[in-house]
Amino acid sequence: MRLAPSGEQNHFAAVLHEMLSEAPAHDGAGPDRRLWAALGDAGVTGLMIPERAGGLGAGADDLVIACEQLGRHAVAGPVAESVAAVPLLLGPDDERLAGLAAGQVIASLAAPPWLPYALDGDSADLILLVDGDAVRLGRAGAVHQSADPARRLADVECGALLGTGRPIRQALDLGVLACSAQLLGAGQALLDMSVGYARTRTQFGRPIGSFQAVRHRLADVAVALDFARPLLYAAAVAWTGPHLGAAAIRHLAADHAAAAVRDTAGHPGAAAVRDTAADLDAGRDVSAAKVACGQAALLAARTALQVHGAIGYTAEHRLGRHLTLVRALHLSWGTPDQHRARVLAAITGTGTAPDGRATAGDPAPQPVSRLGAASGADVAWPSRGCPESAGAGIARTDGKGSE
Amino acid sequence: MNLDLDPAAVAFRDLVRAFLRENVPSAPLPGVDTAAGDAAHREWERKLADAGLAAVSWPVEYGGRAAPPLHTLLFDEEYHAAGAPVRIGQNGLFLLAPTLLAHGTAEQCARVLPPMARGDEVWAQAWSEPSAGSDLAAIRSRAVRTGGGWVLSGLKTWSSRAVVADRAFGLFRSHSGEPRHQGLTYLMFDLRAPGVTVRPIRQLDGTAGFAEIFLDDVFVPDSDVIGTAGDGWRVAMSTAGHERGLSLRGPGRFTATAGRLLQLWQTTGPARPQRCIRCGDTAPDSGRTDAAGTQRCIRCGDTALRSGRSGAAGTQRCPGAAETTAGASRVVDAWIGARAYRMRAFASLDVPVAPSATKLFWSELDVALHETASDLLGPDAEIDPEWAAGYLFSLAGPIYAGTNEIQRDILAQRVLGLPR
């Protein structure tokens, strides 16, 4: 048993931290393509992609280690989408995986109700849309500027059908894990900059960090982050399933990946559960991690701003970037209440899973057609539906055929 | 990362589980502050010791089984899940014992630990004084050198279990004129020795959980000094680490409480439709929150909704209703908190956790668990003996073992590196 990073994972995190610390500042919205390519070189964008498709075939624990660092440095762009969820949704044989792994292709995703917009959909190379149990291509519609200057949210218009029967639940949970890790990393960065500031900023002839009104708030942030992190790691373990480790992802490379993972990851009836130190339930544990990481990061953000005072409120200060990112991610990939509802259903044994064996309380991925009147093809979210025939009726965005 | 248990850990957990299933008393024992409760709890400790389960982490020669830290966590979880009795020997087992194993002599360990494990000697902690609470280094009780030992005098207070305990361990000023944190000596003494008077203090919860200890020229031999005379502060901080950390309050207690809270929620929370006093409508969605945040009956618009606890209709769960109430969010957050504490404990096997952080987390969590339960019970909270007692006890958590304000200061200084 080990609910902590390995030496290798700590080294990976340190390398990423160093690389991201030295990256030049990126102004403007959307992902920095040079940085994204560097992340490709470092292996980050290929973590969840099978080795034979140019990735690393790494584990969910490796993913959260990396995404903590990306959050720590407030890396802009659709991180959880492109690095975590989309590789699984594309399936192991998709030829776009190599570009994703290299950091040359940046993908975004809409998956209502958790993810109603595609982050940076206007600049992404690929947009997927989860439509019920189908995965489709999507196209960016109207674009909305986020309260976070680095984020732009796009309505998604329905495109060609990519396929059905894909591991949608696992893919979305992996995205939630990545998002939670970003939140935790951003929260840690906010704490670190606040502690640094409180040590050096002097008022009344003393460093402000010597005042209990300041130090006690920072101590509470440290505790919140310290106790959220193991929940995140445990959720990565639960997502992976007992006794599988990184092998789970290699499993995904197999053609029947979805079934394999569904049979093992977090399924309460799995034979191996008896031999773990704690009961594991992928959906429940991922949701619990999202709630805890989000709360800890929010506390860190509020406290950081208060400790910095006016200087933290300036557009130049890097604190603001983390603060708006935390606020956005906290409500992205499922709101805290949506995740609490899933935890509640799991721990009270209520909620009927669509396929009878997914985590109780899983929100069934919502068919796009149920969100509004099926009023024809190219109507932007959320007021349009995605008719059954959409795959045939809508111009494809990338020239590839639907399955 | 993984949470896999090796076969030895699984075997140990099964052994503990089987023992508890066989032996945990079906009815709660009388309170530890009563004579009957004292005897019953010591009897229970003996039973644990006979099974080699009184102190699993200790070396075998002192009555333990040299179990690795993971096994200690597993034992703690099983113990609380089984609803086993409160450990009357906890101050000795979880505070003094690790201190002795780190700073004591082999002679002291061999003399003190076995009777401690068997419940033959129950220990109390004698630290705080009327003028030395959060500021522990302000203690004035004195240890004066005499032939072959020390003579203690002064007053200790808030000493848990002292009413029923046989012996106590405490901190005394032994060298005057030195800086506050120096010149202190850590000593063990007999609560039945001449010159010792124990006066029970009735607590907020009605029990005599703690007491004052009056010391009037009490002789203690040199063999009962732990560590070096004058080096008591350093030894005491070792004890404090155990008191604030996972040793005294493992995750099992809170996991069990969260489980009970969940049961409470399932029997009282979602299954309790709101009933309108005026029109009697019991439809599960009869309450609608208006713009001002007031719940209104959708049939008659009255705001006089109340909950109906019983009735066949009360067993109907309203799908979706649960996740919309504030109570549900609090139940989930409390469950997540208990789970976080449990996972942090597992993680601590590889990445140690600061005792101050642990203490802050469990004490605030315990209050939240009990406040949530109370709020679910509503007017019945005050007449529910178990939750009411648990609630009052939880309120002591942020105070004992060093107040949470002290813990935040320690954390800020030692973990975050903030200036004093």
pLDDT, tens only, B338-394:
999 999 999 999 999 999 999 999 999 999 999 999 999 999 999 999 999 999 999
- DSSP annotation of B419 reads -
Report the residue from A231, A243, A345 with minimal CB separation from B4: A243
Residue in chain A lying closest to B339 (CA): A231
Q: Is B416 on the interface with A (CB under 8 A)?
A: yes
Chains A, B: CB contacts within 8 A come to: 181
Report the residue from B2, B351, B416 with minimal CB separation from A1: B2
Reference A84, options A70, A190, A162, A324; nearest CA is A70
Write out the two tokens for B87. 């450990």
Under an 8 A CB cutoff, do A216 and B409 touch?
yes
pLDDT at B107: 98
Q: Is B418 on the interface with A (CB under 8 A)?
A: yes
Q: How many angstroms away from the CA of B120 is the closest CA of chain A?
A: 33
d(CA A47, CA A97): 11
Q: How confident is the model at residue A323 (pLDDT cuts 50, 70, 90)?
A: very high
Q: How many angstroms away from the CA of B395 is the closest CA of chain A?
A: 19
Under an 8 A CB cutoff, do B1 and A2 touch?
yes
Q: Is B5 on the interface with A (CB under 8 A)?
A: yes
Q: Assign A56 to helix, strand or coil.
A: coil
Q: Is B323 a catalytic residue?
A: no
Mean pLDDT of all residues in B221-236? 96
For residue A325, CA distances in Å to A150, A176, A328, A329, B286 come to: 8, 15, 5, 6, 39
Contacts of A341 in chain B (CB under 8 A): 322-323, 328
d(CA A61, CA A48): 11
Assess whether pLDDT exceeds 90 at residue B273: no
Under an 8 A CB cutoff, do A4 and B265 touch?
no
Under an 8 A CB cutoff, do A234 and B346 touch?
yes
Number of other residues whose CB lies within 10 A of the CB of residue A29: 18
Under an 8 A CB cutoff, do B346 and A274 touch?
no
Report the residue from A206, A215, A291 with minimal CB separation from B336: A291
Contacts of A198 in chain B (CB under 8 A): 418
Residue in chain A lying closest to B328 (CA): A344
pLDDT at A120: 97
Q: Are A156 and A121 in contact (CB under 8 A)?
A: yes
Q: How confident is the model at residue B315 (pLDDT cuts 50, 70, 90)?
A: very low
**Which of A231, A239, A337 is the best mutation test for B, with the most CBs of B within 10 A?**
A231
Q: How confident is the model at residue B207 (pLDDT cuts 50, 70, 90)?
A: confident
- From B77, B129, B212, B243, the catalytic residue: B243
pLDDT at A275: 86
Mean pLDDT of all residues in B404-420? 96
Task: Work out the percent of chain B whose per-residue pLDDT is above 70.
Answer: 86
Q: Assign A136 to helix, strand or coil.
A: strand
Under an 8 A CB cutoff, do A223 and B411 touch?
yes
pLDDT at B266: 86
Rounded to 5 degrees, what are φ and ψ at B318?
-95, 110
Under an 8 A CB cutoff, do A222 and B411 touch?
yes
pLDDT at B313: 34
Under an 8 A CB cutoff, do B336 and A5 touch?
no
Report the relative pairing of strands B184-190 and B225-226 from DSSP bridges.
antiparallel
Contacts of A3 in chain B (CB under 8 A): 1, 3, 343, 346-347, 349-350
ipTM above 0.85, yes or no: yes
Reference A328, options A188, A206, A216, A179; nearest CA is A179
Q: How many angstroms away from the CA of B217 is the closest CA of chain A?
A: 40
Contacts of A350 in chain B (CB under 8 A): 317, 319, 322
Contacts of B323 in chain A (CB under 8 A): 337, 340-341, 344-345
Q: pLDDT for B323-344, tens place per residue?
A: 347 789 999 999 999 999 999 9
> Bridge-partner residues for A135, per DSSP?
A130, A163
Assess whether pLDDT exceeds 60 at residue B398: yes
For residue B63, CA distances in Å to B17, B114, B188, B242 come to: 20, 6, 20, 20
Under an 8 A CB cutoff, do B343 and A195 touch?
no
Q: Is B17 on the interface with A (CB under 8 A)?
A: no
Report the residue from B1, B262, B339 with minimal CB separation from A288: B339
Strand positions, DSSP E, B283-358? 287-289, 295-297, 305-307
